[in-house]
Amino acid sequence: MKRIAIVHQRYGAELTGSAEQYTRQIAERLANLYEVEILTTKAVDDTTWKDWYARDTETIRGVTVRRFSVEQLRAKDFASFRSSYVQELSAGQRSRAKERIWLEKQGPYAPDCIRYLRRHRNAYDVILFIGYDTYLAAEGLPEVSEKAILIPAAKEEPMLHFSLTESLFLRPRAFVFLTDEERRLVRRLYPKTEPIPCAVMGTGVDIPCTPNQTLFRRQYGVDFPYLLYAGRVDEDKDCPMLFRYFLEYKKRCEGDLKLVVLGKQNCPVPKDPDIVSLGFVPEEDKFHAIAGAKALVFPSRTAAKARALLESMALSVPVLVNGACDVLRGHCLKSNAGLFYANYFEFEGAVQFLLHHPVEYMQLCSNARAYVLENYDWGRIIRQFSALIESLHTLPMRTSL
C-alpha cells in the first residue's frame, strides 16, 4: 500500500475554513485506499499561529496527524510589511529575500516540519501540498519535488506574482487544479509550467444534515425573505462593497427583503435593520440558513475555492456572485444556476430578477442541483486522485529550472 503525506498548515475537526475542510475531506477518502499522514502545525488560530494542540501525533478518523510547533507567532508588523512589499510588486520590483521574510512573518513558521520532510522524504511515495502561499509549501516542496503534487488553489493575489512562487510552480511532478479558471490563470502567468502534467478536479459536496429552514427561522427570528452571506466577514472578501450595494438597493427598491450575514466579523457590519448579522453559527445552522435563502451572495473579487457556492447549489439555492471573479462567474455560466454583477446597477437588476421572475427562478434552482450532482461527486473525484497518484512515478521529471 502506498504511503501518502499531505502537507497543510492546519488540520482538525474543529476547523471550518474551506481549505481545512477540503484537506480533511481528501485525506479521509484517500485513507480508504492508501496509508495517509498529515504533516501540519499545532496551531488553530491562523491570525497568531499560537500552538494549541498538545500531542505531536494522533489519529483522526483513520488518518495519522503529525503536528509541529510554530516557532514564532505571526509578526506584529506583518500587515505593514505586506503593504510595503505589495507597493513594490505593483511597481515591478521583486525581491526573493523580502518574499522569504514575508513568508516567515506571515507564518506559520514551523521549520521542524521542513526538517522532518527532509529526513523522511523516502518514507512516502507521494506528497501532496495543499496551497502554495505558505512557508510550509515554499520551503517543503523543493525538498521533495520529485514526488510532489501541488494543489495551489491559486487566485489573483500579490503572492501569485512572487519570484518565489514562479520558481515553486516549476518544481512539482504534477498539479491538481480545482477549476479550469485556476488552470488557465497559472498557465497564463507561468507558461513554463505547461509541460507539467495536471488534473482538474474540484471538491465534492457534503451536506451533513437535513436542512430545515423553518428551524433556522424560528431559532433566529428570521421571519422575512433574505439574501444570505455566509463566511468570514472581511474586507478581503469585499464585504463592505456588499453592504454598500445592499443598503443602496433598499433605498431604491421597495420590499421586505433583508441581508442575513453569518460568520466571524473581521470588519464592521453596518447597524441597519435591513442587515441582520448573526455572527458565527454552528455548521448545521448554516445549512438551515442556506435552505431558506432566496440566494447566497458572494461579493469576493477573488476566489480559488467555492465550497459554499457548491453547497448552496446542492440545496437547490441559486447564487449571486461578483462577476470580476473568474471562478465564481465560471460556475454561474456552466451551471446556469446563478447571476453575476459588475457594478451596483447590475447587482440591483439581478436581485430584482430573482424576486420577480418566479418561473425562471425555479429553473435556476433546478439547474443548481443538477450541476452539483453531475460534476462534484466525491467518488469520481477520488478515482481521479488515485489515478494521478498511481501514475506519478511514470510522469516526466523536470531536468532544469
On whether residue 348 sits in a domain, the answer given is yes
Cell numbers representing residue 356 in the block: 420577480
Per-residue pLDDT band for 183 (boundaries 50, 70, 90) equals: very high
For residue 401, is it within any domain?
Answer: no
**Rounded mean pLDDT of 172-185?**
93
Same domain, 291 and 350: yes
- For residue 377, what pLDDT band results from cuts at 50, 70 and 90? confident
Residue 266 vs residue 240, higher pLDDT: 240
- Give percent above pLDDT 90 in the chain: 84
Same domain, 226 and 182: no
Whether residue 399 is contained in a domain is answered as: no
| Band of residue 82 on the pLDDT scale cut at 50, 70, 90 | very high
Report residue 398's pLDDT band, with 50, 70 and 90 as the boundaries: low
If you average pLDDT over residues 247-267, what whole number do you get?
A: 95
Task: pLDDT band for 186, please (50, 70, 90 cuts).
Answer: very high
- For residue 112, tell me if it sits in a domain: yes
Q: What is the model's pLDDT at position 304? A: 63
Read out DSSP for 267-287? Answer: S----BTTEEEEES--HHHHH
Question: Quick check: is 62 in a domain?
Answer: yes
Kindly state whether residue 359 falls inside one of the protein's structural domains: yes
- Answer whether residue 167 is part of any domain: yes
Q: Which domain holds residue 32?
A: 3-204+378-394
Contact 126, 392 (CB under 8 A): yes
Domain harbouring 93, CATH code: 3.40.50.2000
Half-sphere exposure of 331 (CA within 13 A, CB side): 35
One domain for residues 195 and 242: no
Q: Are residues 182 and 238 in the same domain?
A: no
Q: 278 lies in a domain? A: yes
Return the minimum-mean-pLDDT range out of 123-132, 237-246, 280-289.
280-289
60 DSSP β-pair partners: 63
Over residues 258-283, the mean pLDDT reads: 94
Length of the chain: 401
Contact 158, 86 (CB under 8 A): yes
Pair (262, 167) in one structural domain: no
Same domain, 158 and 135: yes
**Together in a domain, 270 and 128:** no
Are 185 and 277 found together in one domain? no
- Residue 241: pLDDT over 70: yes
58-81 per-position pLDDT tens digit: 999 999 999 999 999 999 999 999
| Per-residue pLDDT reduced to its tens digit, 332-362 | 999 999 999 999 999 999 999 999 999 999 9
Considering the domain architecture, whether residues 256 and 158 belong to the same structural domain is answered as: no
User: Does residue 230 sit in the same domain as residue 198?
Assistant: no
Alpha helices in 158-267 (DSSP H): 163-168, 180-189, 213-220, 239-252
238 in the same domain as 383: no
Confidence band for 17, pLDDT divided at 50, 70 and 90: confident
Q: How many domains does the chain have?
A: 2
Are 39 and 84 in a shared domain? yes
pLDDT at residue 115 greater than cutoff 90: yes
